[in-house]
A and B are shown apart, each in its own frame.
Chain A
Amino acid sequence: MTPEFVQQLITDRLAATHVHVNGDGHHFYARIVSPRFEGLGLLARHRLVKDALKDVIDSGELHALSLEKTATPAEWAAQ
């Protein structure tokens, strides 16, 4: 799995407006901006991402994904 592929998956499944993924094929690091995070705490945001990617995580295709940032568009703009 490439960082580009992970980035595309996240973009599609979370209607993300901005996604940045780094990784070496085994461990990936993502920063995600999505309106779906609106009104959610940090734990709920992380659960949302992991649920959206559950099939590829469970299958072992996506081995490790660290979430460095999960922001709403408004939070992202305010930075």
Chain B
Amino acid sequence: MSVQDTIRQTVTSNPVVLYMKGTPQFPMCGFSAGAVQILKNCGVSFAAVNVLEDPEVRQGIKEFANWPTIPQLYVKGEFVGGSDIMKELFASGELQKMLEGIEG
């Protein structure tokens, strides 16, 4: 299975996925830490993928969404955005709406 297939499988088999640097317990970058905090504030459980553990995934996720930076949030298989977009969607309440109905 190619790395793109692996990513596709991950984002479609988990309702909420965060690709990040480090883990939710130990984020290794301020932007990833901010993204985790936002999801926690939404009260939703999510799958986290630590891109620092796999250089192929770290590069592959940038190509998957055609988005150059990490963190990246996926909801129901769709790329939502990076940390700026998460911040803005959370501030406007849209992110909470997007995550409604997903098991916390």
Contact = CB atoms under 8 A, between A and B. Distances in A.
Interface of A: 42-43, 46-47, 50, 57, 66-69
Contacts of A50: 68
Contact of A43 (B68, B81, B83): B81
Interface stretch (B3-11, B38-46, B84-92): B84-92
Q: How large is the interface on B (under 10, 10 to 19, 20 to 34, 35 or more residues)?
A: 10 to 19
Interface string B37-68: 00000000000000000000000000000011
A45 B84 CA distance: 12
Contacts of B89: 42
Contacts of A57: 68
Given A42-B85, A68-B84, A68-B88, 15 more contacts: A42-B81, A42-B89, A43-B79, A43-B81, A43-B85, A46-B81, A46-B82, A46-B84, A46-B85, A47-B67, A50-B68, A57-B68, A66-B84, A67-B84, A69-B88
A43 B80 CA distance: 7
Nearest to B81: A43
